[in-house]
Chain A
Amino acid sequence: MAVASVTQRGYGGLAEEPDQLYVETRELRIQGFLLFMVSDLVLFSSFIFAYLYLRNSGQGWPAGGPKLDIALAAVNSIVLFGSGATMHFALENWKHGSFSKFANWIVMTIILGAGFLSGQVLEYIHIGARWSSGIFGASFYTLTGMHGLHVFAGIIYLTVLLLQAAQGKYTFTKYTGLTLGTLYWHFVDVIWVVLFSIFYLL
């Protein structure tokens, strides 16, 4: 059905009324995806619990661990939060029927995401500790590494979405996949709010 509504430019679509099947499927997919996010959140929470537990059990923190660079982390965090804002605009523009603005904003998001990852690499180099060096290495690298993997996966995810949109997989009225991608990206952002707070501000 999606094929029928593709315009001559290969993306977007006619303002066709979504049918019952689409509406129900969209609800299922969004709910399933939200539940996936909940269980992913539990995964992060478990490691956050592990970190706080280790930090508060026994010898003081940072247990002779290396020093973190808060200035770098602050600007890097803002980069990631900014990517959340650009992703929001991307979806809004799709809803209002503009493919080119959508594409611009999502490319912007991908660039900011990649920027955040390079910032993380800089931070890892700056710290210079190893994964296996003590409880600091264990909790810091595991949590930020897991988050980094999520960002990396998110960049690939968004790229795929962009290509799919360009090929006409989504229409301006049927775009569940784009909604899910936006949800995922926001989730990655928001997890970083927590990680940033517990590592740099606590």
Chain B
Amino acid sequence: MAAAAIHAGGGLADHIHPEPQGFVRKYVFSIDHKIIGIQYMITAFLFMILGGMLAELIRVQLMKASGGLMTPETYNEVYSVHGSTMVWLVIIPLLTGGFGNLIFPVQIGARDVAFPWLNMLSFWLFPPAGLMLYASFLMGAPTAGWTEYPPMSLQGGAGTSMWAAAIFLIGVSSTMTGINFLVTILKMRAPGMTFTRMPLFVWGQFVTAPLLMIATTALGAALAALFVQRQFGVAFFDPTRGGSPLLWQHMFWFYSHPAVYIMILPAFGMISEILPTFSRKPIFGYKMIAFSSCAIAILGFMVWAHHMFTSGLAPALQLPFMVLTMLIAIPTGVKIFSWVTTLWGGVIHMTTSMMFAIGFLATFTLGGITGVFLAAVPFDLHAHGTYFIVAHLHYVLVGGSLMGILAGLFYWYPKMSGRLMNETLGKWAFWLFFIGFNGTFLPMHWLGMWGQPRRVAMYDPQFQAWNQVASYFSFVMTAALILVLVNALWSMRNGKRSGPNPWNARTLEWQIPSPMPYYNFKHVPSVFAAPYDFAEPLPYRGLEEELDGAPPPVPAAH
């Protein structure tokens, strides 16, 4: 075994700030990555409750073919804000700002992210942006969906401009997070933590960060253009004055396709941590999984126009976008096959976290397969803009990202609170969620194929039966999510004490106490192998004092 790099000393890694005192500096305007991560999670879960309520309004409205609960105008506002909330205020903050902040700096053996103050700023842009989005209800919320295609969005109420401003703020926050994470991973890894020894969750954050940084800025440009078009009549998208509605679609999807990967790559990373831990077995094909994440991220920038096959894209452009999109199936397939193989020959501990991870494998596979269908232009000509799309996107975002988030919540909860979540409640929640989710979204596949367009407040009566099925199952799914929430709140005080490493996991965050102390490590460890060899001793040096009564490190003089 090659000798691990010697920790040089005297540098940033040993530069510890004194722990802030007082409630405000400690828990509100904190610069500690762990507190910021928890802040992100709490805020995002609060928005998830709001977005979930909107989702249930949608499902109740669609119980009857003639609608009935809301006017079409209100319904349009509801689903637009639902989509915007779930994408920008729930999934992305949870995966990057939340779990990213909380876990990955510890996993690379750092004491904090590269720019803690910037990190705090990133977080504090997020709640105001969310409130701005919901404030738009007071002035006529956006109605044209989360995509806000002009000229429709030019006709929308005053809230549409508010929407653009809110999402712009979120974008600034994401960009800063991306820069911060990228520099942290590039520069602040512990000695010996080479790229091929990084845990796969870190790899997930590493390929997501550039997406956050680059794609989100492009969205910022699009939103700024929409805003000035609406407020000052600047003719970007107005066809009557030489502008082009398709320009928005290009600018929007240049962000929003990579955003799809922002919403799934960190979840891939989580799954890649959870599966080997609970199978007691190295992740199968570490390098291929890491490499395929990079391939997905790069290809993700080259496929945006597959959302525009029916929009009037030049035929010569449709072909490369179709073929490139299909190519993404290859790295994604490699990942799924590797995960399934990781299960083979393991000693599988069926914890709630593991059940969500395995559920993720099944539902995400289905979402991925329908994604490949949609890449084929002729099929997309039929399915575009129908409930088939709704089904596909919820299979990847709920069945993929959200399942990953729930798996991660059960897995890393002890690292936040020092306690375990209740397993019995958790397993109930899993089965209810799994059944409710599939019952809600599976029928939407054939509803779309048969002719139900998306974003409608009322629909043809022959679709009513299946819509009712979807609505009833959605109540089950909501119940499951409430159960998870109750579980998390209840376990905060009453959960079983977890100790530092309840799952017997091997990445660095499990080698320090739970909850994690302010300075993370008493001594920055050295790393000399990848963390997945369950039959070997831990591949770290310098962790001997973490769990005993040794005194914490001395803060640097300032």
Contacts and interface: CB of A to CB of B under 8 A. Distances in A.
Contacts of A142: 225, 228, 234
A38 interface: yes
A54 interface: yes
A18 to B, nearest CB: 12
B152 interface: no
Interface stretch (B67-75, B98-106, B237-245, B405-413): B237-245
A179 interface: no
Interface in B122-176: 175
Contacts of A50: 221, 225, 236, 247, 251
Contacts of A43: 217-218, 220-221
B556 to A, nearest CB: 8
B250 A53 contact: yes
A28 B183 contact: yes
Interface in A27-52: 27-28, 31-32, 35-36, 38-40, 42-43, 45-47, 49-50
B12 to A, nearest CB: 4
Contacts of A54: 236, 242-244, 247
Contacts of A178: none
A42 B254 CA distance: 11
A45 B115 CA distance: 26
A25 B183 contact: no
A144 to B, nearest CB: 13
A32 B179 contact: yes
Given A24-B11, A49-B250, A132 B234 contact: yes
B275 interface: no
B303 interface: no
B221 A47 contact: yes
Interface residues of B, number: 43
Contacts of A28: 12, 114-115, 183, 187-188
Nearest to A31: B183
A108 interface: no
A76 to B, nearest CB: 24
Nearest to B12: A24
Interface stretch (A57-65, A96-104, A120-128, A187-195): A57-65
Contacts of A138: 225, 229, 234-236, 243
B263 interface: no
Contacts of B114: 28, 32
B222 interface: yes
Contact of B242 (A32, A46, A135): A135
A131 B232 contact: yes
A48 to B, nearest CB: 10
Interface string B198-229: 00000000000000011011101110010011
Nearest to A135: B242
Given A21-B15, A54-B244, A137 B234 contact: yes
Interface string A57-84: 1110001000000000000000000000
A32 B251 contact: no
Contact of B217 (A19, A24, A39): A39
Contacts of A197: none
A10 interface: no
Interface centre among A23, A46, A59 (most CB of B within 10 A): A46
A46 B222 contact: yes
Interface string A118-153: 000000000000011111011001100000000000
A24 B12 CA distance: 6
Contact of A21 (B10, B115, B216): B10
A42 B233 contact: no
A177 to B, nearest CB: 15
A21 B179 contact: no
B30 interface: no
Nearest to A30: B183
20 contacts: A21-B15, A28-B114, A28-B115, A28-B187, A31-B186, A32-B180, A32-B183, A38-B214, A42-B221, A43-B217, A46-B217, A47-B221, A58-B244, A131-B228, A131-B232, A135-B235, A135-B243, A137-B235, A138-B236, A142-B228
The 5 tightest CB contacts between A and B, nearest first, are A46-B221, A132-B233, A20-B10, A42-B217, A20-B11
Given A42-B217, A46-B220, 17 more contacts: A21-B10, A24-B187, A28-B12, A28-B187, A32-B118, A35-B182, A39-B175, A39-B214, A43-B218, A53-B244, A54-B242, A58-B244, A132-B232, A132-B233, A134-B235, A138-B229, A138-B243
